[in-house]
């Protein structure tokens, strides 16, 4: 396995495919998954001549199940450690869900230095803030996220079956084309990771206010969001993010789910490629 060790001792697994001379596309996965969630995109961009890189977030997938550091600051620092190790320049960073928060924090804090980032993409991403607060009254109530924590602590295996079988891919909608392999692959990725990382990660993706991160990003940034996203409501995320980005573009998809990068990969891949090449 290809890993690096961070300054605080976490072993981070990563994939690095393609010519080292090609432009890098770096993928950041969502909670509670792994870099495998980007299989369709990595194979697609590899076939187009790009260098594709993805890592498993600490506590997820094949990275070490450390007890601490499950927050956006560490997520971004770990991503930067991979980028520095590979000396990636002029990269396009694409993040899904929690990975979108990781991209926003990484680009704002590290990525615009030394020409390391060219563009960014936020897919069904959690910024600017999911939680309902006095300053964010449209957000989701804490009870929603407490319910996630309770379900995870009580029976993580069942919870990780129910989420993909239901709202994540919109398989709970009438007439949905339910794909059993997709459900099982979500479960497989989730159960590879550690319960502590997944439990703490709920706080990271729901309570981290990334307003300042979005304001600090100057590179071209594409925001993609499904209009039937039951996990990260579009009104709380994409519609707010685009107002904060200095150089942003928004594209939404009627009827598509939170997991559209998997179940609508052909559509998403074409739009991602067009942005990368623009």
Under 8 Å between Cβ of 247 and 214: no
Identify the active-site residue in 60, 93, 96, 258. 258
Name the H helices within 164-236.
180-192, 195-207, 211-216
Q: Known catalytic residue: 229?
A: yes
Q: Which residues contact 257 (CB under 8 A, 6 or more apart)?
A: 167, 168, 169, 170, 226, 228, 229, 230, 263
Identify the active-site residue in 78, 213, 229, 236. 229
- Residue 87's closest CA among 68, 115, 67, 112? 115
How many whole angstroms separate alpha carbon 219 and alpha carbon 118?
6
**119 — phi, psi (to 5°)?**
-150, 165
Identify the active-site residue in 34, 97, 206, 241. 97
Under 8 Å between Cβ of 31 and 97: yes
Catalytic positions are 97, 229, 258
């Amino acid at each position: 396995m290809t890993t690096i060790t961070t300054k605080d001792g976490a072993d981070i697994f990563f994939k690095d495919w393609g010519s080292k001379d090609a432009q890098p596309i770096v993928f950041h996965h969502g909670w509670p998954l792994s870099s495998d969630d980007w299989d369709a995109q990595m194979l697609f961009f590899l076939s187009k001549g790009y260098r594709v890189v993805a890592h498993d977030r600490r506590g997820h997938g094949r990275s070490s199940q450390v007890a601490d550091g499950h927050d956006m600051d560490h997520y971004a620092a770990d991503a930067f450690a991979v980028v520095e190790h590979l000396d990636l320049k002029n990269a396009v960073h694409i993040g899904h869900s929690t990975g979108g928060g990781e991209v926003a924090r990484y680009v704002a804090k590290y990525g615009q230095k030394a020409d390391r980032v060219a563009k960014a993409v936020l897919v069904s991403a959690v910024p600017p803030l999911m939680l309902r607060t006095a300053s964010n009254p449209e957000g989701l109530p804490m009870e929603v996220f407490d319910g996630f924590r309770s379900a995870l602590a009580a029976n993580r295996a069942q919870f990780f079956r129910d989420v993909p079988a239901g709202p994540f891919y919109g398989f709970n909608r009438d007439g949905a084309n339910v794909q059993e392999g997709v459900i099982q692959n979500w479960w497989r990725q989730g159960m590879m990771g550690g319960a502590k990382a997944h439990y703490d990660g709920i706080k990271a993706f729901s309570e981290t206010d990334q307003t300042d991160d979005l304001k600090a990003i100057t590179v071209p940034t594409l925001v993609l969001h499904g209009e039937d996203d039951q996990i990260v409501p579009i009104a709380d995320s994409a519609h707010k993010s685009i107002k904060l980005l200095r150089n942003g573009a928004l594209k939404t998809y009627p009827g598509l789910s939170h997991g559209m990068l998997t179940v609508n990969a052909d559509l998403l891949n074409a739009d991602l490629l067009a942005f990368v090449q623009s």
